[in-house]
Every structure is written in C-alpha cells, then in structure tokens.
Amino acid sequence: MITMNRYLIQSTLIAALLSASVHAMAKGEPMYHFLPSDTVVNNVKTSLQNQGIDISAVQVDADAEGVVQLRGEVASKQDAETVTKLAKQSEGVYAVLGSLRYETGEVVAAPAPDGLDPMMEAPAAGNEPMDVPAAGNTPTDPQ
C-alpha cells in the first residue's frame, strides 16, 4: 500500500510539471529575446570603435533575429577577421555574414598576347635577330 501511494504521488508531480511546461509553451513566448535591429547595429559599431577600428568604410546591418551583415572595405585580411570576430562578440548578435573586401597586394601577371607561349622565356638583351641588308643593297658612306 505504501509503495502504491509513492507511485501515485510521483505520477501526480510528473503530471503537474508536464502540464506547467505545456501551458508555458502554449502561451507562445519566444525561446530567445532578440534586441531591436538598430540596437544590435549600434552595439556592433560601438564595439568596433572601442577597439580603434575605422568603420567609415564598413556598413553594418542587422535583422530582427540578430543576424548581422557586414559590407565594405578594410585594410587587410587580418582586419576583416578582427571586424568579424568583434561583431560576433557584440551583444544581441546571433550570427555574422560578411562581404568585407581587402586588397591582397598580390601581383597578377597580365595575360600573354595571342600567339606567345607564356611559359617561354623572353630573349636575352642583345640576342635579337639583326636585319641583314639584301645583296647589292649595302649602305654607302656619304663622302
């Protein structure tokens, strides 16, 4: 009889907990509390400025769920990574999408003109073929 009462009490407690959770979920309360998008944008910009990053060429946008979009130009790859990292750490940011551009400093070779093999070496200076005058057409010395 005591064992039966214990199971009855446990079952009642479990049922009460389950009904309370279902009731809370039925209210439609969101699982996350998102900040307004303009607040998220201001948080990201403030975070970047506090780290001494020039944000004049970086556009920051955010949506209602805390997804931040970064666009613009930065000085280097390291700056792009730093800006993205700081944006991710800002309050209210749940994800960061980026289209930050930077100049790599890489030298890109110009395409070879038609008919030339780009892998062949250019002739060394002084080894260019000389124009040889045709027989009988030798230049004369003006005297």
Largest CA distance in the chain: 142
Q: Is 76 within 8 Å of 102 (Cβ atoms)? A: yes
Q: Is 88 within 8 Å of 94 (Cβ atoms)? A: no
Question: Consecutive sets of 10 residues in the chain, 143 residues long: mean pLDDT of each?
Answer: 67 70 58 84 94 89 92 88 92 90 71 59 53 57 55
In the prediction, which pLDDT does 17 show? Answer: 67
In the prediction, which pLDDT does 55 show? Answer: 85
**How many helices (H) and strands (E) are present in the chain, helices listed first?**
3, 3
| Cβ contacts of 79 within 8 Å, gap of 6 or more | 53, 102
Q: What is the CATH number of domain 37-101?
A: 3.30.1340.30
